[in-house]
Amino acid sequence: MTPPFLVLGIETSCDETAASIVRLAADGRAEVLSNVVASQVADHAPYGGVVPEVAARAHVELVEPVARRALAEAGTTLADVSGIAATAGPGLVGAVMVGLSFAKGLALAAGKPLVAVNHLEGHAVSARLEADVPYPFLLLLVSGGHCQLLDVAGVGACRRLGSTIDDAAGEAFDKIAKSLGLPYPGGPALERLAEGGDPDRYPLPRALLGRAGCDFSFSGLKTAAARMAEGATSPDARRDLAAAVQAAIARQLAERAERAMATYAAAHAADDAAQHEPQHLRFVVAGGVAANRAVRARLEATAAAHGFSFAAPPLRYCTDNAAMIALAGAERLALGLTHDLAVAARPRWPLDEAAALANPTHIPGRKGAKA
């Protein structure tokens, strides 16, 4: 298919039920016509985290009215869309199945092509929503479930440079926030608590300093901060510990990003020499943790210091949303990359599957490599 066209995106990978209409123009620019997100925060708050069964049941109730509202806000109908894109993984598999099954039903009923989208690819393209961020670029994907550095050459062409060997940065934020007695969701609550705190008061461990490469580790930081939280009972101590945690996470992200920038720049310098044309170096940060202002500022400064331009999605597109799924689907649709109705939901789906299988950061289980 040839742009311009409209794509309906459906996202149900975790605890947000989302639908969006995105128009992809002939020049590759994306315009978000609607972006509807129904959050389940209140449903999961009593448990201090996402309960998969609760999430899946809520998606069943919400996905149809959310999609209907997205079409209405965009001033269009299902008959007008060019295709339907839905998250097919990774994520809570019961939740993913709800959105994917709903999208299959719509595609079958309306006679529209279906695109099964990798949720991580959605985050990878999220900075391209309403902004001119052309391929290729270096990507830091940092969220509650994922922390990876990737060389993104184009649609679906991602090469892993580094990944977490244990916890993701967003997971560390959430679990440390819980240790401090902060409400769910913990990451934003910890950021608010950290305002005005002294990040130097609490010495926190720095992971993998003697290890080459661009991998991350946050489990040691999480454990140390949880122990310190037991003694941080005064308001000042709690604020200072939150500031220290935030600074430590931002520091590790920046340190590993610096290593990836050196590797990326060297690789692309060789390409530039072969093509006799200098290439613009772009650093993109996406995922829920990209909404943290301290992390964002540290990474933006790191990019500038190493000759990279910096791009990140608007805050509304950092966390899970369907606009990024619609755009990822639209870009695939433009290349003729669609799926039949037999496509399955996947709890695990690495962006760089070759690297995940050849060098998994987690021991593969029966469902395959995790990252």
d(C-alpha 89, C-alpha 347), whole Å? 6
For residue 139, which of 271, 248, 264 has the smallest C-alpha distance?
264
The pLDDT of residue 371 is 47
d(CA 146, CA 220): 17
For the residues of 129-142, what is the DSSP string, one character each? BTS--PSPEEEEEE
**pLDDT of amino acid 218:** 96
Cα dihedral 189, 195, 201, 204 sign:
positive
10 three-state secondary structure:
strand
Give the span between the Cα atoms of 137 and 125, in whole angstroms.
10
**Tens-digit pLDDT profile for the chain (371 aa)?**
677 899 999 999 999 999 999 999 998 899 999 999 999 988 898 888 899 999 999 999 999 999 999 999 999 999 999 999 999 999 999 999 999 999 999 999 999 999 999 999 999 999 999 889 999 999 999 988 889 999 999 999 999 999 999 999 999 999 999 999 999 889 999 999 999 999 999 999 999 988 899 999 999 999 999 999 999 999 999 999 999 999 999 999 999 999 999 999 998 886 665 555 557 899 999 999 999 999 999 999 999 999 999 999 999 999 999 999 999 999 999 999 999 999 999 999 988 887 777 666 655 554 444 44
Distance of CA 343 to the CA centre of its chain: 22
In total, the chain counts a number of residues equal to: 371
**Residue 171, exposed/middle/buried by CB under 10 A (0-12, 13-18, 19+)?**
buried
What is the H or E stretch that residue 151 is in? strand 147-154
How many helices (H) and strands (E) would you count in the chain?
A: 11, 10
Q: How far apart are CA 342 and CA 116, in angstroms?
A: 11
pTM across the whole model: 0.91
Per the DSSP assignment, residues forming a β-bridge with 23 are 6, 31
Give dist(CA 308, CA 140) in Å, integer. 13
Report pLDDT for 278. Answer: 59
* All domains in the chain, ordered by first residue: 5-130+316-358 (3.30.420.40), 137-313 (3.30.420.40)
Confirm if 232 and 181 have CB atoms less than 8 A apart.
no
d(CA 149, CA 124): 11
In the chain, helix, strand, coil percent, each to 5? 45, 20, 35
